[in-house]
Amino acid sequence: MIRRTLLATAAAGLTLALGAPAMAQDDPTKACFVYVGPIGDGGWTYQHHQGALALQEEYGDAVEIAYQESVPEGADSERVITQMALSGCDIIFTTSFGYMDPTNNVAAKFPDVKFEHSTGYKREHPNVSTYNARFYEGRAVVGHIAGKMTETNKIGYIGSFPIPEVIMGINSYYHHAKLANPEVELVVTWAYTWFDPAKEADAARAMLDQGVDVITAHTDSTAPLAEIGKEDGSAWGFGQASDMAAFMTNEDGTPGPRIASIIDDWSPYYIKRVGQLMDGTYEQIDSWAGMPEGEVVIGEMNDAIPDDVKAEAEALIASIETGEYHPFTGPINKQDGSAWLAEGETAKDGTLLGMDFYIEGITGDIPN
Amino acid sequence: MDLSNINPILLIASIMISATPILLAALGEMVVEKSGVLNLGVEGMMISGAVIGFIVAINTGAPLLGFATAAVAGAVLSLSFGILTQVLLSNQVATGLGLTLLGLGLSSLLGKPYEGMKAETLPKLDIPVLGDLPVVGRMLFSHDIMVYLSLALVVAVWAFLKYTRAGLILRAVGESHDSAHALGYKVVRVRLLAIMFGGACAGLGGAYLSLVRVPQWTEGMTAGAGWIALAIVVFASWRAGRVLIGAYLFGGITVLQLNLQAAGLTWGVQYLSMSPYLITILVLVFISSNRSRSNHDAPATLGRTFHATR
C-alpha cells in the first residue's frame, strides 16, 4: 500500500520534471559550472556559485544552471567537462587554473558550445574565452593594511601553487606593505593545495610560531583565519575570495582575526556573458576586470584597524577604482636588483600574466 | 634561510596536534584489519564524526559531548558496513568505498547550516608540576585531553592485542577465521565489535579536526586524511607502536616542511612533502618482496569473506 503510494508519487514527480521543459516555448540557455572545491568552502568556489545563483536570479526561467563540485584538476575534469557538453550545456564555465588544457581539449570537440576558462591564458579554439579578476588590486590594499598592522614586522602569505596568479598576488601584497612600512619582511609558505583546511591551518600555525603576525592566504578555506584567531588579538588575517565575515567580530564583541577581505564577485561577468550569448552578441574574449568593474571588492574593515589606516586604505581603494593608480607602478626592481619598472611606468598585462619573478626585497626562491 | 626561527618546542607541540586525527583513525583501522576486515570507509567515518561532533558541540556548548557523539556516530556508520559485509557478505572493498561516498555526502548535507560557525574548542589541560616544567612542559604537557587520550589508546590497543585473551581471539579471527570458528569463537561478532571500534576511533579523529585542529566545519574538510590513515596501517605493518610512529611521521613531515618554508628554505620542500607516501610505497614493496615476511605482517584473512557454513 505504502509502496504503491510512493510509486505513484514518484511517477507524478517524474511527469512534472519531464513535462516542464517540453511545455516551455524555447529551451532555456543552459549555463554549466565546474568547481574545484565544495560550494561550502566559504571562499573561491562559494563565490563562483554565488555568481551562478545571481545569474539564475537575473534571467529566471530563461537560464538553467548546472554545476559539479570538487572536480579534481587534470584528466578527471576533462571527463566532467565532456559530460556537461554532451548533456546540452550551451556555455560551460571552468573555474580553476588546472582546467586549462582539459577545457581547450573538450572545446575542440564541441565547436557549438561556448567555453569560459577562469584564470587561464589558453584560447586555442574560437569557442574558448578566458576570464580573470585583477586580484592583485585587492592584494595591494590588504598589503598596505598588513604593513601598517604588523608589530613584529613579519607578514605572511600562504601560497597555493607557484603560478603567475599567485606570484602576482605575493608581489603586490609585499610591494604595498613595504611602501607602508619599510621595515617589513615577507614570509611565503606554499601549501601545494587549493583546499585542505587542516594543512592551511598548519601553514598559518608554522608562520605564527615563527613570529609572523599578519597573514593573507591564497588558498580557499577559512581555516587560516580560525588558526589566527587562536592568538587572541595579537595576529591578524584577511578574508580570501569571500568576505568570511564570521571571523570579523569575536563572540565577546572584540574585533576578530579577519580585519578586511578581498571578495571576488563574479556575478557581473556571468550575467554579462550569458546575456550576450542569449542576444547573439557573444564573442570570444580575454576578460581581466578588477576593482573598477566591481569584480574585486574589499570587504568591510573591522575595528582592529586604526582610523588613519582605514582612511589610507579607503584612499587607495578609491584611486584604484578610478583607474588613476596601478598597483604595479615603478620604480620597482626585480628580486635580483635588475630594473623592472622605471619611475612612473606601469606593468603590462602580459608581464603580469606570465609573472615568474619576485620583486626586490622578497627573500627565497619561487619553487618550480 | 634562518632555521633559528623555528622553535623546536612549538614545532613538536604543533606536530602532536597535527598528527592526532590520523593517529586515532589509523589505530582504529588497525584493529579492524587485525580482525581480518578491510574497511576503506575511514574517510567517510572521519568526516561524519567531524560534522556530528561539530553540530553537537555547537548546540550543547560541550566539546567533550561532541567527541562522544562523534564516536557513537562513527560506530553506527561502521556498523552498517559491518552488517553489509559480515552478515550479508557483500564485497568489503566496494562497501568500504561506498561508505566513504555516503559519509562525504551525508556530512555535507548535515553540515550545510553550520558552515562558518565557531564552536567551543577543547581547553588546554593545565597539568600541575609537569606543565610548569621548562621546555617539556610547553612541548608535551600543555595539550588538550584528546592528545593524551589518543596516546593512551595506543598503549591500550597494544596491551590488548599482546596480553589479553580477547586480543588473542581477535588476532586468531584475523589470521584464520575458519580455525577460530572451529574452536567455537563467534567470528562475525568479534569482527562487528572490531569494526565498531574502528568506526568510533575514526569518528573521534574527525571530531578532533573540526573541534580542535581547524576548529570549524568546512565541507570536505578531512581532505584525504582517512586515506592517509589507511596508508599508515600498512606502513606500520599492523602494530600499534608503529602506527604511532607512522602518524607522527606523516603529521610531523607536513608541519616540518611548512616550518622550513616559513624559515626560508625553498629547495626540496616538495620532496619532503611527498616523502611519507614514498616511504609507504617502499614499505609495501619491502613487505611484498618476501613471502615469509608478508605472512608475518598482514593478517592472513584480511579482506576475505567469512561464511560459517563452509
If you average pLDDT over every residue of chain B, what do you get?
A: 88
First to last CA, chain A: 65
Residues from chain B contacting residue A211 (CB–CB below 8 Å): 5
Residues from chain A contacting residue B138 (CB–CB below 8 Å): none
The residue in chain B having the minimum alpha-carbon distance to the alpha carbon of residue A204 is B258
Closest CA to B266 of A182, A364, A231: A364
What three-state secondary structure class fits A127? coil
Cβ–Cβ gap A195/B220 under 8 Å: yes
> What cell does A266 get?
563574479
Write the CATH number for B145.
Answer: 1.10.3470
Q: Is the Cβ–Cβ distance between B226 and B202 less than 8 Å? A: yes
Which of A210, A227, A358 has the most B C-beta neighbours within 10 Å, making it the best mutation to test the interface with B?
Answer: A210
Residues from chain B contacting residue A207 (CB–CB below 8 Å): 262
At B154-199, the pLDDT tens digits run 999 999 999 999 999 999 999 999 999 999 999 999 999 999 999 9
Residue A227 in contact with partner chain B when CB distance is under 8 A: yes
pLDDT at B159: 96
Q: Is the Cβ–Cβ distance between A344 and A364 less than 8 Å? A: no
pLDDT at B292: 62
Helix (H), strand (E) counts: chain B:
13, 0
B303 domain residue, yes or no: no
Q: Is the Cβ–Cβ distance between B203 and B46 less than 8 Å? A: yes
> What cell does B204 get?
573521534
Domain edges within chain A: 28-133, 135-265+294-353
At B273-309, the pLDDT tens digits run 777 778 777 877 776 676 665 555 788 888 888 887 6
Residue A256 in contact with partner chain B when CB distance is under 8 A: no
B278 domain residue, yes or no: yes
pLDDT at A265: 93
Closest CA to A257 of A243, A236, A231, A230: A236
Residues 6+ apart with CB under 8 A from B170: B31, B34, B35, B161, B190, B194
Cα–Cα distance for residue pair B54/B219, rounded to 1 Å: 12
List the beta bridge partners of residue A63. Answer: A29
B129: buried, middle or exposed (CB in 10 Å: 19+, 13-18, 0-12)?
A: exposed
Cβ–Cβ gap B214/A199 under 8 Å: no
Tell me whether the CATH fold assigned to A28-133 matches the one assigned to A135-265+294-353: yes
Domain count, chain B: 1
Helix or strand (DSSP H, E) at B96: helix B92-111
At B117-150, the pLDDT tens digits run 777 777 777 777 777 777 777 778 878 899 999 9
At B231-270, the pLDDT tens digits run 899 888 899 999 999 999 888 888 888 888 888 776 777 7
* Structural domain boundaries enclosing B139: 3-297
pLDDT at A184: 96
Residues from chain A contacting residue B263 (CB–CB below 8 Å): 210
Which string of b and e fits B37-64 if b means at least 16 CB within 10 Å? Answer: bbbbbbbbbbbbbbbbbbbbbbeeeebb
pLDDT at A26: 62
First to last CA, chain B: 65
Per-position pLDDT tens, chain A of length 368: 344 444 444 444 444 444 334 334 467 999 999 999 888 877 889 999 999 999 999 999 999 999 999 898 888 899 999 999 999 999 999 999 899 999 999 999 999 999 999 988 889 999 999 999 999 999 999 999 999 999 999 999 999 988 888 999 999 999 999 999 999 999 999 988 888 888 999 999 999 999 999 999 998 888 899 899 888 889 999 998 888 888 898 888 899 999 999 999 999 999 999 999 999 999 999 999 999 999 999 999 999 999 999 999 999 999 999 999 999 998 999 999 999 999 999 999 889 988 999 999 998 888 87
Which candidate from B11, B264, B270 shows the least CB-CB separation from A363? B264
Sequence-separated contacts (24+) of A105-110 with Cβ below 8 Å: A105/A78, A106/A78, A106/A81, A106/A82, A109/A82, A109/A85, A110/A85
Residues from chain A contacting residue B216 (CB–CB below 8 Å): 197, 222-223, 226
Question: Options 3.40.50.2300, 3.90.1150.10, 2.40.100.10, 3.40.250.10; which CATH number does A28-133 get?
Answer: 3.40.50.2300
pLDDT at B210: 92
Residue B163 in contact with partner chain A when CB distance is under 8 A: no
pLDDT at A246: 86
Question: Options 3.40.50.2300, 3.40.50.720, 3.30.70.100, 3.30.1330.10; which CATH number does A135-265+294-353 get?
Answer: 3.40.50.2300
B302 domain residue, yes or no: no
In B74-133, the residues whose Cβ lies within 8 Å of chain A are 108, 111-112, 115-118
Chain position carrying cell 565546474: A34
Q: What is the pTM of this model?
A: 0.81
Residues 6+ apart with CB under 8 A from B186: none
The CB-side HSE value for A70 (13 A sphere, CA atoms) comes to 15
